[in-house]
Amino acid sequence: MTKYLSKIFKFWPDAEVKVKAQFIRTQNAFVPSSDLAREFLNRIPIGDPVVLSSNLERSARQNALFHSMCALVAENSDKFQNGEEVKDSVKLVLGHSRKTVVVKNGEIHVRFIPKSITDLDGDDFNKFVDKAIDYFVEELGVPRDILIREVEYL
């Protein structure tokens, strides 16, 4: 058992522990693929429920669709100079940003800075793109199906 896991279970035996470990799916089970995963699995009593989450890979098609839409919005809007500005704008509007506080001349200024979308897994990225399309539709005043068709035509 690693020192990290031992300490958690010793002091908080009922703690909700999040461990990132790889498992291999077999016909009816998940088999640990590393020592950490094995150690963690051995600490769970047989019959106890375990919550799993999966990181789905992002679709190259969905990624291309998003970047093409950003370029299309930039080309058809006076508000943005390029696709990067569109990306930053949609990230801020959808809350994919981090808050920073700057003190300047004794005044507190709060800024929101767009975060990278590379940290989104496939599921989260698909949700993000779906909301971004709604934002683009509103920004351009074009129906959703026409916008998607226009980008797929490119």
- The predicted structure's pLDDT at residue 64: 87
Q: Contact 59/126 with Cβ under 8 angstroms?
A: yes
For 27, which DSSP code? Answer: S
pLDDT per residue over 120-152, tens digit each?
A: 888 889 999 999 999 999 988 989 999 888 887
For 28, which DSSP code? Answer: S
pTM: 0.61
Q: Contact 139/77 with Cβ under 8 angstroms?
A: yes
DSSP H helices, 53-141, are 60-75, 83-93, 122-140
- What average pLDDT does the segment 104-124 reach? 88
Q: Which amino acid is at 152?
A: E
For 81, which DSSP code? Answer: S
CB atoms inside a 10 Å sphere around CB 67: 14
